[in-house]
Amino acid sequence: MTIPDPVNDDSQPATDTPSAERLTRRSIRSFVVRNGRTTSAQTDALQRLLPQFGLTYSDNPISLHTAFNREAPVWMEIGFGNGDVLVNMGTNNPEANILGAEVHESGIGHALIGVEQNALTNVRLVQHDAMEILENMLEPASLDKVLLLFPDPWHKKRHHKRRIVQQDFLDAVARTLKPGGILHCATDWAEYGEWMIERLEKDSRFKNCAGPSQGSPRPEWRPVTRFEKRGHRLGHDVIDLLYTRL
């Protein structure tokens, strides 16, 4: 899941704060909840808009048709950060329902401000571990797209176990994606891109849209993220990986 400033944060230990306990029961987490400042505007948005656009995490499957008050293709973004991509997708794809998972209140507040400013009705947000959402809260074959854009690379070898792209993640995505649905991963960390490719190419439930072990061009519907812009400034090559659920 996207963490503020995930690139090479050598100074931060891989420890979890007590607030993480209510967001997941998993012993190994792909995120760390760090104390961050929530602005007054974000706090106001959380108080006013979260009851309307937020979904409470559930250990039991929910009806997404009921949650969005309509039937439409559902795209899920995992770790949406400040919500800019989420809001962009909701604005430019009114035919789709956009579900976002994020653990940081400031990001959720920022996204809610964008939802209100753009008068969106097709966005819903969940403040919880995306893995547990995929495993427990969503019905099988209920998603049309899953987006994992610039997750924390956890670049140190001893932290690789915290990377979200593991076998349990692929199992959860395979369960919730419809046949023909798309898993879209993107990273500017070359070694993590290789890590993703290695695991996805071994999984017979997914087929690379660009051909075996190949990256895809950035689809027009995916806006450029702030992490991507920073990666370019640092001289990192960005890779998009699109896989179809067979």
Three-state SS annotation for 25-64: CCCCCCCCCCCCCCCHHHHHHHHHHHHHHECCCCCCCCCH
Q: Where are the domains of the chain?
A: 44-245
The helix/strand/coil state of 106 is helix
Architecture of domain 44-245: 3-Layer(aba) Sandwich (3.40)
pLDDT tens digits for range 67-100: 999 999 999 999 999 999 999 999 999 999 999 9
pLDDT at 117 over 80: yes
pLDDT tens string 145-183: 999 999 999 999 999 999 999 999 999 999 999 999 999
Q: Residues 209-214: contacts with CB within 8 Å, 24+ apart? A: 209/182, 209/242, 209/243, 209/244, 210/242
Q: Interior CA angle at 210 toward 154 and 160, to 5°?
A: 15
Residue burial 19-53, b: 16+ Cβ < 10 Å; e: rest: ebeebbeeeebbbbbbeeebeeebeebbeebbeeb
- The pTM (predicted TM-score) of the whole model is 0.89
- Catalytic residue list: 152
